[in-house]
C-alpha cells in the first residue's frame, strides 16, 4: 500500500474513532431536546440507590477522578445499557447456578435430612390430652345418702357431653333425699379432612382435620419438609444472595452476620440498650401509656434451609441474646416472634421468596404475638379465611439486577380479618398513616417501625379506634401523637436493631420535653 493510501486510511480511522466518541453524545442531545420524557427515564439512576456524582473543580488539578465519575454518570443511554447488562447477567447466572448445582450433586451425592420444627400448638391449640375421659363400662357415680329402701329415681338435671367436656345426668329419689350423678363421657370429635399436603423440599406433609361439632383442629400424618444439604457456594449479585429453589436473601450491610451469629453484642452494649429501655418505660408510665418493643426476624432465620452452604459460628445469636437480656433487665415487653413464624410456615409461606419482607400471613401471625401482650383477643389464622393471590413483591430481584423471567409467580395468602370494621385513612405505604376506625377499642396506638410495618397496618388498624403508623425516620414529626397515645409500639427488622434504639432516644427526648 502506498504512503498516500496509508494516510487516507489513517484519516478515515481517526474520523471513525472520533465519530464513535461524539455521535452518541450528539444523539443524546437530540433525545434530550425532542424526547425529554425518554431522556429523563434513561438518565435516572435512582434504581442504583445513590445520587449522581458532581463535578469538583478543585480536584481537577490533582486527578481526573472527579471528571471521570461525572462523565460516567451521564453516559448516553446509561440506564438502558445497565438494564440490558443486568438482564443478560441475571439470565446467565441462573443457568450457571442450575448447571453447577447439578454437577456438584452428581459428584457429592444428595444429602437430605428433614427440617426441625417447633411446637405447632401455637397454631393448632392443644391436642386434647389430659382431659377427663371415662369408659362406658366404668362411669363415675356420685351418690348422696338417703333412706334404706328401694329408691324410685327421677331425672332432675342433665347436661349433654361435648367434644371438649363430659356431661352428666343427675337423679333423685322421689321418696327421700337420695341422689346420684352419672358422668357421660365426652363425645369423640367428628373430624373432616380440610387440607392435605404432600411432603417436598418446599412443603411439609400432613393431613389437617377439623371437628364438625366444635371446630377443633388436628394434624395427622405429619412429615417435616426435606432439606437439601448439597454444597452450594454462597454467591451474591448486587445486594442479593442466591439461595436454593429460587429463594433470594438480602445480603447488604452485613445482614447475614445476624444469621451466622458473628455479631453478638457485648455486655456493655446490651446494658446501654437496657438503660434506654428502662428510661422509656419510666416516661411512658408517668403518662399512663403502655409500651412494647418488637424485633422482626430476618428472613433467613425462618427459612435457613434455602440458604447456600454457610457456617453458623454461634447458635445463641445476637437477637436472642438481646431479647433475653432485655427481658431480664427491663420492664418493657420485648418480642421476637421467631418461634411463632416457624410454626406458621408449616401451613403457609410467611416471607416472600423474592423479597426481603414478611408477607401478609407473616405480618398477621406476628401481630398475634403483640396482642397476647397488650390484652387484645388473638385470632388463629386457621379459623378465618385466607384466600390465595399472586404476589408482585420482588425487591431482591431488582436489587440483584436479576431477570424476572427466571422466577415464576409467587403465591401468598391474605387473612380475611374483621371485614365488618371500617377503617378511614388507610394507606399502608404512606410514610405516616393516620387512621380512624369503627373498632370498639377506644384507644390510640402509635407504631414506629420500618418497611415491615406496611403489611401489619391493614390488620392492626382494625383493632384501635385511632392509629398513627409511621416510619422511624419521621419520629420527630410524631411528637404530639406520641405524647397523647395509649399504646406505643417501637419495632425494627432484626438487621436494623441499632436504628430502633436511636428511635428510642428520639422518643425519650419527645417525652421529656414540655
pLDDT tens per residue, range 465-502: 999 999 999 999 999 999 999 999 999 999 999 999 99
Question: 57 in a domain, yes or no?
Answer: no
For 212-366, where are the E strands, in sequence order? Answer: 217-223, 226-228, 236-237, 240-242, 248-250, 290-296, 334-335
Per-position DSSP letters for 420-458, written without gaps between them: TS-EES--TTSSEEEEEE--S---EEEEEESGGGGGTHH
Q: How confident is the model at residue 36 (pLDDT cuts 50, 70, 90)?
A: confident
User: Sign of the CA dihedral 434, 436, 439, 445?
Assistant: positive
Q: What is the pLDDT of residues 75-134, one digit of tens each?
A: 676 666 666 655 565 555 556 556 655 555 555 555 567 777 777 777 765 433 333 333
* Highest-confidence segment of 24-38, 50-64, 493-507: 493-507
Question: 415 in a domain, yes or no?
Answer: yes
Going from the C-alpha of 470 to that of each of 201, 351, 370, 495, the distances in angstroms are 38, 22, 17, 19
For residues 311 and 206, state if they share a domain: no
Q: Which domain holds residue 152?
A: 141-184
Question: 148 in a domain, yes or no?
Answer: yes
List Cβ neighbours of 11 (8 Å cut-off, separation of 6 or more). none
For residues 471 and 354, state if they share a domain: yes
List Cβ neighbours of 318 (8 Å cut-off, separation of 6 or more). 257, 258, 261, 263, 264, 265, 497
Cβ-contact 326, 293 below 8 angstroms: yes
pTM for the whole structure: 0.74
Q: Which residue has the cell 453458623?
A: 312
Q: Within the chain, what is the greatest distance between any pair of CA atoms?
A: 143
Question: 134 in a domain, yes or no?
Answer: no
For residues 161 and 277, state if they share a domain: no
Question: 486 in a domain, yes or no?
Answer: yes
Higher pLDDT, 172 or 50: 172
Please name every residue paired with 157 in a beta bridge, in sequence order, or none if there are none: 170
List Cβ neighbours of 21 (8 Å cut-off, separation of 6 or more). none
Please name every residue paired with 169 in a beta bridge, in sequence order, or none if there are none: 158, 182
pLDDT > 90: percent of the chain: 55
Q: What is the pLDDT of residues 137-162, one digit of tens each?
A: 344 566 776 777 888 899 999 998 88
Q: How many CA atoms lie within 13 A of 62 on its CB side?
A: 6
pLDDT reported for residue 169: 92
Question: 445 in a domain, yes or no?
Answer: yes
For residues 299 and 204, state if they share a domain: no
Sort strands 290-296 and 487-493 into parallel, antiparallel or unpaired. Answer: parallel
For residues 357 and 474, state if they share a domain: yes
Number of domains in the chain: 5
For 335, the 3-state DSSP assignment is strand
For residues 360 and 449, state if they share a domain: yes
Question: 54 in a domain, yes or no?
Answer: no
For residues 428 and 301, state if they share a domain: yes
Is the pLDDT score of 450 beyond 80? yes
Is the pLDDT score of 507 beyond 60? yes
All three cell numbers of 4: 498516500
Is the pLDDT score of 181 beyond 50? yes
Going from the C-alpha of 459 to that of each of 339, 361, 362, 454, the distances in angstroms are 21, 11, 12, 10
For residues 448 and 418, state if they share a domain: yes
For residues 361 and 408, state if they share a domain: yes
For residues 405 and 490, state if they share a domain: yes
For residues 115 and 150, state if they share a domain: no
* Highest-confidence segment of 81-85, 112-116, 182-186, 424-428: 424-428
pLDDT reported for residue 21: 73
Mean pLDDT, rounded, of the chain:
85
For residues 334 and 455, state if they share a domain: yes
Cβ-contact 492, 507 below 8 angstroms: no
Question: 71 in a domain, yes or no?
Answer: no
pLDDT mean over 231-252: 92
pLDDT reported for residue 303: 97
pLDDT reported for residue 353: 97
Lowest mean pLDDT among 31-40, 428-437, 486-495: 31-40
Rounded to whole angstroms, the Cα distance separating 432 from 434 reads 6
Residues in the chain: 514
Rounded to whole angstroms, the Cα distance separating 407 from 500 reads 34
Amino acid at each position: 500500500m502506498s504512503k498516500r493510501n496509508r494516510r487516507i486510511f489513517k484519516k478515515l480511522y481517526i474520523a471513525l474513532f472520533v465519530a464513535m466518541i461524539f455521535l452518541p453524545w450528539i444523539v443524546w442531545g437530540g433525545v434530550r431536546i425532542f424526547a425529554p420524557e425518554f431522556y429523563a427515564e434513561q438518565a435516572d439512576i435512582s434504581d442504583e440507590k445513590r445520587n449522581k456524582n458532581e463535578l469538583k473543580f478543585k480536584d481537577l488539578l490533582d486527578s481526573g477522578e472527579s471528571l471521570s465519575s461525572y462523565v460516567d454518570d451521564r453516559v448516553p443511554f446509561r440506564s438502558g445499557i445497565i438494564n440490558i447488562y443486568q438482564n443478560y447477567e441475571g439470565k446467565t447466572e441462573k443457568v450457571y447456578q442450575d448447571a453447577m448445582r447439578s454437577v456438584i450433586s452428581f459428584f457429592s451425592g444428595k444429602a437430605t435430612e428433614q427440617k426441625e420444627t417447633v411446637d405447632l400448638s401455637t397454631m393448632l391449640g392443644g391436642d386434647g390430652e389430659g382431659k377427663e375421659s371415662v369408659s362406658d363400662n366404668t362411669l363415675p357415680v356420685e351418690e348422696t345418702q338417703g333412706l334404706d329402701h328401694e329408691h324410685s329415681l327421677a331425672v332432675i338435671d342433665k347436661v349433654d357431653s361435648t367434644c371438649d367436656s363430659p356431661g352428666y345426668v343427675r337423679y333423685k329419689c322421689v321418696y327421700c333425699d337420695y341422689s346420684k350423678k352419672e358422668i357421660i363421657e365426652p363425645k369423640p370429635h367428628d373430624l373432616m379432612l380440610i387440607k392435605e399436603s404432600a411432603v417436598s423440599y418446599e412443603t411439609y406433609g400432613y393431613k389437617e382435620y377439623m371437628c364438625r361439632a366444635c371446630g377443633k383442629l388436628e394434624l395427622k400424618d405429619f412429615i417435616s419438609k426435606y432439606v437439601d444439604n448439597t454444597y452450594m457456594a454462597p454467591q451474591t449479585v448486587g445486594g442479593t444472595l442466591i439461595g436454593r429453589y429460587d429463594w433470594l436473601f438480602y445480603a447488604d450491610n452485613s445482614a447475614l452476620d445476624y444469621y451466622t451469629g458473628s455479631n453478638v453484642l457485648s455486655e456493655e452494649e446490651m446494658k446501654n440498650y437496657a438503660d434506654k429501655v428502662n428510661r422509656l418505660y419510666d416516661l411512658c408510665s408517668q403518662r399512663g401509656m403502655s409500651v412494647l418493643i418488637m424485633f422482626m426476624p430476618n428472613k433467613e432465620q425462618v427459612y435457613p434451609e434455602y440458604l447456600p452452604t454457610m457456617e453458623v459460628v454461634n447458635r445463641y445469636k445476637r437477637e436472642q441474646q438481646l431479647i433475653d437480656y432485655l427481658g431480664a433487665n427491663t420492664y418493657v415487653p420485648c418480642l421476637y416472634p421467631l418461634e411463632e413464624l416457624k410454626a406458621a410456615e408449616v401451613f403457609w409461606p410467611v416471607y416472600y421468596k423474592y423479597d426481603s419482607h414478611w408477607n401478609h400471613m407473616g405480618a398477621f401471625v406476628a401481630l398475634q404475638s403483640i396482642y397476647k401482650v397488650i390484652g387484645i383477643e388473638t385470632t388463629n389464622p386457621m379459623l378465618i379465611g385466607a384466600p390465595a393471590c399472586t404476589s408482585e413483591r420482588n425487591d431482591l430481584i431488582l436489587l440483584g439486577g436479576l431477570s424476572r423471567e427466571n422466577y415464576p409467580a409467587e403465591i401468598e395468602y391474605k387473612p380475611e380479618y374483621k371485614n365488618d370494621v371500617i377503617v378511614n385513612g388507610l394507606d399502608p405505604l404512606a410514610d405516616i398513616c393516620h387512621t380512624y376506625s369503627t373498632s370498639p377499642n377506644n384507644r390510640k396506638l402509635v407504631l414506629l417501625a420500618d418497611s415491615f410495618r406496611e403489611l401489619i397496618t391493614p390488620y392492626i388498624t382494625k383493632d384501635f379506634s385511632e392509629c398513627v403508623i409511621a416510619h422511624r425516620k419521621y419520629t420527630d414529626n410524631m411528637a404530639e401523637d406520641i405524647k397523647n397515645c395509649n399504646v406505643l409500639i417501637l419495632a425494627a427488622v432484626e438487621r436494623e436493631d441499632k436504628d430502633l434504639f436511636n428511635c428510642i432516644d428520639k422518643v425519650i427526648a419527645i417525652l421529656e420535653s414540655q
